[in-house]
Amino acid sequence: MSTRNSERELIISTVRKFVEKEVMPVASAMEHANEYPHALVEQMKEMGLFGLNVPEEHGGVGVDATTLAMIFEELSRGWLGLAGVIGTHSVMCDVVVKFGTEEQKRRFLPGMASGEKRGGICLTEANAGTDLQNITTAATRDGDAYRVNGAKMWITNARHGSTFLLLARTDPAAQPAHRGMSAFIFEKGAPGMTVSRDIDKLGYKGVETCELHFDNFPIPVDNLVGGVEGEGFKQVMTGLEAERLNVAARGLGIARAAFEEAIRYAQRRVTFGKPIAQYQTIQNKLADMATHIEASRLLIYSAAEKRDRGERCDLEAGMAKLFATETAAEVSFEAMRILGANGYSKDFPVERYYRDAPLVVIGGGTNELQRLIIAKNLLKKYKDKT
């Protein structure tokens, strides 16, 4: 999929106007109240944002990875929690588009593209986050269904979503473990699946993050992704490559929002007879912040363009995710320091950016993992042939 420049500019302009007019005026108040943005989500559905990476033949918009990253940057600039509503949804769409059977695509993608079916991904468990091969949730074949037993946690969209991607063991004896894992699409409704507590988080508020419990929960055999057992780990990891890019773009959005707040404040705040923006110490901070933001943007675009060419971009996506999210953490803290006590106050949005930034550092594969992925790919790329 590729998006013409004129189409891209129109889409980004539309999203930016939506963020500036509808999101920014209410984001902080709703975030502090941990209020789910129902009205904003309805507007996002009308704009087609739930079908961004769904092909047009299945009712979606079918934008390329670069445009998708730009949209996540704009949404996260307004409110990270709002971007989260379509974040994991888009990862699930990506897996279904790439690996689903034709029947699964016809059955699920149109509803997901319209936002009527709101998606999420059920991967993480209490003892399996970065190490997904350590999952224990099992799916056992029982006639024309699989019976699922286990628990998942940190599931975005769990309470307000309806359609999910699940990674479970179908062959517990398989070695290595990932060969015994399969991916499933399931919908709420059948008995045996419980959405339990909402996890109380430092930031990333508004969008719910929950624990799910499965007790003999039935999933139809027809919902096995691709119709083949043992392919789930590969399918999910391909989806997570896309997630790293959208998390990187979310980090860029946070950093940009924090920088814009800081540079605006620095020109208005007067101390000792002049705006603090005229002090070299503040100028050095602003220069470093802007440079890291621009470098993050170029890393993201480079990885996205490689993905748009149909190439694997593990190395580039890992670099983009690492750098952009670390930039979000650094820039939001520097913005707080520029605002001083006002940056620590809930009267200004900088404290929200500062609380949101750690989520993108940890989520989508921790940055410690990204460094390992980067190093592994570098050693492969520069293999010593002597």
Q: Which residue has the tokens 């590729």?
A: 2
Instruction: Report the pLDDT value the prediction gives residue 1, as an integer from 0 to 100.
Output: 57
Assess if residue 270 is contained within a domain.
yes
- Out of 117, 146, 179, pick the residue that ends a domain: 117
Assess if residue 386 is contained within a domain.
no
Q: With a cut of 50, which residues of the chain have pLDDT below it? A: none
Rounded CA-CA distance 361/329 in Å is: 8
* One domain, residues 136 and 106: no
Assess if residue 88 is contained within a domain.
yes
* CB atoms near residue 279 (< 10 Å): 14
> What's the pTM value of the predicted model, to 2 decimals?
0.95
Q: Where are the beta strands (DSSP E) in 298-348?
A: none
CATH number of the domain at 61, please: 1.10.540.10
Rounded CA-CA distance 137/85 in Å is: 25
* One domain, residues 103 and 124: no
Residue 261 lies in domain: 234-381
CB 64 within 8 A of CB 2: yes
CATH number of the domain at 129, please: 2.40.110.10
* One domain, residues 273 and 301: yes
- Out of 96, 117, 138, pick the residue that ends a domain: 117
* One domain, residues 350 and 377: yes
* One domain, residues 35 and 61: yes
| pLDDT digits 0-9 by tens, 33-70 | 999 999 999 999 999 999 999 999 999 999 999 999 99
Q: Which residues of 55-88 are buried (b: 16+ CB within 10 A; e: fewer)?
A: beebbbbbbbbbbbbbbbbbbbbbbbbbbbbbbb
Instruction: Report the pLDDT value the prediction gives residue 111, as an integer from 0 to 100.
Output: 98
- How many domains does the chain fold into? 3
Instruction: Report the pLDDT value the prediction gives residue 73, as an integer from 0 to 100.
Output: 98
